Structure 1
């Protein structure tokens, strides 16, 4: 595992930093530092297109599809500098990091021509239709149904926790297309246009006052037969391939965001005197150590070349960072004290650290709960007996 970067890599880092910092000090300075995913959606769509115009949108993609065919090291560096510059999170993260790579891996040539250019250009925003009210971490329990009728797929059902569906153009949907099938069998992976009569989006207000999540209802919603990725019944395989992309190079950028949060906590502790408390100093030191351990683990995970082997870092990474950040949110509240419990602005207009505490409560749930992650570690990593599953 390489823990450092070459001189060439560092020159690329300087190029990334110069461009990103220049944008945040210039044309897009109005969105610098925004943390809410729902804030300034139109400006952030413009930012997606600005990234594309300078070929920064999806640098790991092949050049023919709008990328730079960047090395893993360069992808990591860009993700880190993106977060370091205070650039808001990508509103098309799902399209660039999940939908695009899935189409590249499993799509037909016609599907690549149809979807990839507009994703890369920031013109098509994607969201994800996986979870349902009765199928959160257990994706194999989905009940949304799809049937082929007159050259179209007709979809009925409900998805939930659909991030940014209200500003998205397309949604990829895992649905049950084989009547009577159970578990991972009989599932199909579809690409559906959102702006149609059969799809209804309802926002879900979160504990921090934001509403990035949505319920998505399908009532005879339709998409062409060729919107299917893979073959009918291969939805589980496609979905698992997509989830493998979820823990890619963006994890290092995520950690840079954590770095910024920890630095703000340290600054607050120094400013209000909390840093004089030995227990607070000990917790800050523990958070610093944990962040460094996560970085080394992520680098090892990304450096894995034999993907046929189960890498312990990949299995443990989600539960590691989710638990760490939940604890970081609690540390932030303890450092701020009573000041953290009052919002100075309008209702639910929280500063960064109280918002960190509120949002981090969900970190151990979405993307696979801590309980599910422990099952994966036990069964796949340690080879322990599988938990009984009645329907699989």
Structure 2
């Protein structure tokens, strides 16, 4: 593959670079450059949600938001390579878009593929503009990693559905205006066949959101409870009982969005090793043992880069995101955790500090380490991703699933 820009791509890059240089929120440069996982939102006197919305709206007004979406839904109809070029040029300011990654990277494509034309026209442009935030309500306390084991019920009542149940680990639910919701509508059939997907207004009566306090002191995850929530049938995505198929659209886009945009932290570690003092007045990077570990992670980071480019090549040919995109998230999540742990070990006693004002390298590694367990769970656990890669990419025999064809209501819930 030739990674040099074509003349058309070079012109697009120059246009994007000039616009970003003229319009980027440069007052946030130092904060964004020094942010690790979960630290940006804690900066004093900075309303990160407001800053994120302002940047997204500015991009939307100038035609730089959701580049690959059709123009009628708020995008630019750009090619996959133009999208890559934009992401490269946006640099640290892309962190301001993390608020919208679930909506624009997962929920939006699902609505685009399965919603009515009226829904698309009404819901997608405000999402692209950053006016609305979306969440994805899949995981449940009783289902664990088995998404098809969910128990939130949706019962038809005339032209409406009545929904009762709960979801957990819902990222951004506390700030979301809308969400997509996977429910069980028929417990008398096999678990994968009795599901139906809806989109919901998170401000509707019957929805309660409870934030979950996380190890790093923030509450990005939430519990969501539904008590006789009533929504019209027009908010259904796909057919009744087709929810599993619809959810695969979300999941494939989720793993592409998370995996392709996930940083391993290697560049940050390399910068730290070059700058920090080591033994005998030298630098950490002068230690051959440390250099060896850096070389291993440099190789992984390069592999992830080109694996991501392979996925983008497939998209440029009109293919849908496939199971191979699980590789990016699986490798990047584990690598990020390993790098953060190694960096903290290098800091010695200073590694216990978590205050960015006191800790080495602004506590970026500490923030990443505390966030990393969630990173390896959300969007599919490591174990789930390994099964997907083994079965659907490598063609290995699948796990034995004794409940695959059993009606959901007959599956035992206890020993």
TM-score (norm: length of structure 2): 0.85
Kept in 1, the 8 Å contact 2:253–2:321? The answer is no
Q: How many residues in Structure 1 have an aligned counterpart in Structure 2?
A: 387
Distance 2:321 2:200 in 1: 34
Hey, what does 2:271 align to over in structure 1? 267
Question: What residue is the counterpart of 1:288 in the other structure?
Answer: 298
Instruction: Give runs of aligned pairs for residues 158-197 of structure 1, distance below 5 A.
Output: 158-197=166-205
- Per the TM alignment, residue 366 of structure 1 is displaced from its structure 2 partner at its CA by 1.8
**Distance in 1, Cα, partners of 2:309 & 2:403:** 37
1:345 CA drift (Å): 5.7
- CA deviation string 1:312-333 (max 9, x = no partner): x435333222222222222221
Contact 1:96 1:120 in 2 (8 A): yes
In structure 1, the partner of 2:337 is: 326
Secondary structure, counterpart of 1:280 in structure 2 = helix
TM alignment of 1:1-392, pairs within 5 A:
1-26=1-26, 32-33=32-33, 36=38, 38=41, 40-85=48-93, 87-248=95-256, 251-254=259-262, 257-258=263-264, 261-270=265-274, 271-273=276-278, 274-304=284-314, 305=317, 307=319, 313-344=324-355, 351-392=363-404
Q: Is the 8 A contact 1:268 1:335 kept in 2?
A: no
Alpha-carbon distance in structure 1 between the residues aligned to 2:98 and 2:21: 16
State whether residues 32 and 86 of structure 1, in contact with CA within 8 Å, keep that contact through their aligned partners in structure 2. no
CA deviations 1:255-313 (Å, max 9, x no partner) are: xx44xx323222222323222322111111111111111111111122124859977x4
- Worse-matched range after superposition: 381-390 or 187-196: 381-390
Maintained 8 Å contact 2:327/2:385? yes
With normalisation by structure 1, the TM-score equals 0.89
> Which deviates more, 339-348 or 81-90?
339-348
Report if aligned partners of 1:196, 1:221 keep a CA contact under 8 Å in 2: yes
Asked if structure 1 preserves the Cα contact closer than 8 Å seen for 2:134 and 2:177, the reply is yes
Q: Any conservation in 1 of the 2:68–2:83 contact (CA below 8 Å)? A: yes
Give the whole-Å Cα distance in 2 for the aligned partners of 1:127 and 1:85.
Answer: 22
Structure 1 149/309 Cα, relative in aligned 2: closer, same or farther at 3 Å?
A: closer
SS of the residue 2:272 aligns to: helix
In the alignment, structure 2 segments of 5+ residues that lack a partner are 43-47, 279-283, 405-415
Residue 55 of structure 2 contacts residue 96 of structure 2 at CA under 8 Å; is this kept in 1?
A: no
Q: Once the 2 structures are TM-superposed, how far is the Cα of residue 65 of structure 1 from its aligned partner?
A: 1.5
How far does residue 59 in structure 1 lie from its aligned partner after superposition? 0.7
Q: Which runs of 5+ in 1 are unaligned?
A: none
Structure 1, 265-274 or 142-151: larger mean CA deviation: 265-274
Secondary structure at the aligned position of 1:78 is classed as: helix
